Structure 1
Amino acid sequence: MQQIKAYFQSKLQLTDEYWELFSSKLEQKKFPKKSLLIKAGETEKYLSFINKGMVRLYIPGEIEDLTFGFAFENNFVSAYDSFLTQMPCTYCIESLVETVVWQISYDDLQSIYQNSKEANFMGRLAGESLFLEKARREISFLKDTAEQRYLHLFTQQPQLIKHIPLKYIASYIGITPQALSRIRKRIS
């Protein structure tokens, strides 16, 4: 729980009273490798902070899944559109390795929002974090080459290349696994 507390303390002054209220609503959950945090058609009930591990976000396909995001330690993850609207999501979130998250439920978060200015600020920080990641990805698709997207992914998380299957990386950067192999040969 120290990681999530440190994350918020780096952004704002937390009072002990507020931290006690917020942390009392957090639940730790462990997901074995290749487990679904949420599947398509379900409604997201949790906002999660990754304490350990990594996940991928993908749209299930009949032939191939379409990976459109990764989330790593010390970051929030959620089917956030579903979380906000409380409507079913159209994609899945899957653990790539054993993953440990701290979760707060939608109902608990709404209750805390009503009682605390700090909670509203923390909720805004979590939402902004998820939005900024989405915006970075969209901009990257518009201005960067597949090679630049590949290099950027591992400049941010260099130790993770051995944990993410190449087919997921290829899908994430918008190319085939064969095209990714050519990029990897060219830059090695």
Structure 2
Amino acid sequence: MDEIRQLFEAQVSLTDEDWSLFSQKLTPRHFPAKSPVISAGAREDYLSFIQKGMVRYYIPGEDELTFGFSFAGEFMSAYDAFLTRVASRYTIEALSETTLWSISHADLQEVYEGSAMGDRIGRHAAEGLFLKKAKRELALLNESAEERYLNLFSDRPELIHKIPLKYIASYIGITPQALSRIRKRISL
């Protein structure tokens, strides 16, 4: 939980009282690789911080559509379903063994009510999730598939070996065959 506090304190200063109120509401959750954190059709009850592991967001179906990843040190949630209290339209899957620190919707509302810092904590998590979504949408509109591929790993190049290529291809909006051609062209 120290990682979560450090993340928040990089944005806002927290008193021990504020941190205590928030951290008492966090619960650890563990997921083995390839298991759903939340399935399409279920209500999202948690906003979570990834302590260890990584997850992918996808729309299930015959041709699964991967549209996001979250990694250790980041927040994750089916946030639209979390906010609206309706069933998620997509699945979030642990790609590796994953440990989350989660706060329920009800407990987060209590933190918002009980602490001036609560709103800032919630806003920080929401802004991070929004910025990730906006970055992907802009990339799909403004960048080539090759640029999207290269940019995906610019900050975390080690991830290319941890995420199956079919998920990467889906995420950047191309077929696995097209990704193979890009990878071959880049390696020349």
Superposition TM-score tier, normalisation by shorter sequence = over 0.9
Q: How does 1:136-147 map to 2 (within 5 A)?
A: 136-147=135-146
1:10 is matched with 10
**How far, CA to CA, are the matches of 1:158 and 1:101 in structure 2?**
23
1:183 is matched with 182
**How far, CA to CA, are the matches of 2:51 and 2:11 in structure 1?**
18
Question: Which SS does the other structure have where 2:177 is aligned?
Answer: helix
Q: CA deviation at 1:111?
A: 1.0
Q: Deviations over 1:47-88 (max 9, x none)?
A: 000011100000001x22000000011110000000000000
Q: TM-score, normalised by structure 2?
A: 0.98
Question: Which SS does the other structure have where 1:40 is aligned?
Answer: coil
Question: Which SS does the other structure have where 2:89 is aligned?
Answer: coil
Structure 1 gap ranges (5+)? none
1:47 is matched with 47
Q: Deviations over 1:24-58 (max 9, x none)?
A: 00001111000100000001000000011100000
Q: CA deviation at 1:2?
A: 1.0
**How far, CA to CA, are the matches of 2:175 and 2:36 in structure 1?**
24
2:23 is equivalent to residue 23 of structure 1: yes
Which residue identity does 1:168 align to in structure 2?
Y
**How far, CA to CA, are the matches of 2:72 and 2:151 in structure 1?**
17
Which residue identity does 1:26 align to in structure 2?
L
**How far, CA to CA, are the matches of 1:2 and 1:186 in structure 2?**
43
| Aligned residues: CA RMSD | 0.6
- Deviating above 6 A after TM superposition, structure 1's stretches of 4 or more consecutive aligned residues are none
Structure 2 gap ranges (5+)? none
2:64 is equivalent to residue 65 of structure 1: yes
Q: TM-score, normalised by structure 1?
A: 0.98
| Percent of matched pairs sharing the same residue | 59
Question: Which SS does the other structure have where 2:161 is aligned?
Answer: coil
**How far, CA to CA, are the matches of 2:182 and 2:175 in structure 1?**
11
